[in-house]
């Protein structure tokens, strides 16, 4: 299933009130709310935005495994690890956690 931006955001919005753990370090992040444009996480100044999460989701269509440390444009915003974790939890039917050497990343279950 390929979700459009609003479909993905609906899935992400359903995470409000839940705790998302980063994949490698298992750090808990409580999603307090999801606005029309960003995810608000308790105790975090940086917030993943709708556009960044959807762009990352579309990149996964390539079928490659993506590791948070390799996503420079999200790393610069200090949201790469939480974006990867949010997608893994928001669309578990499409995205799986995968090991890349000693690192942990995500990849699409079905693509093409």
What pLDDT digit, counting tens, does each position of 33-65 carry? Answer: 999 999 999 999 999 999 999 999 999 988 889
Contact 31, 40 (CB under 8 A): yes
Give helix 80-90 / helix 5-13 axis angle, nearest 10°: 90
User: What is the CB neighbour count within 10 angstroms for residue 61?
Assistant: 12
Show me where the domains of the chain are located. 5-108
**Helix, strand, or coil here: 53?**
helix
Q: What is the pTM of this model?
A: 0.92
């Amino acid at each position: 299933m390929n979700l459009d931006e609003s479909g993905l955001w609906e899935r992400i919005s359903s995470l409000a009130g839940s705790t998302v753990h980063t994949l490698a370090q298992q750090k808990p992040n409580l999603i307090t709310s999801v606005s029309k444009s960003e995810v608000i996480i308790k105790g975090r100044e940086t917030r993943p935005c709708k556009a960044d999460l959807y762009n990352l989701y579309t990149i996964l269509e390539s079928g490659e495994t993506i590791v948070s440390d390799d996503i420079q444009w999200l790393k610069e915003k200090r949201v790469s690890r939480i974006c990867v974790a949010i997608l893994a939890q928001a669309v578990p039917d499409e995205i799986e956690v995968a090991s890349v050497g000693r690192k942990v990343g995500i990849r699409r279950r079905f693509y093409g």
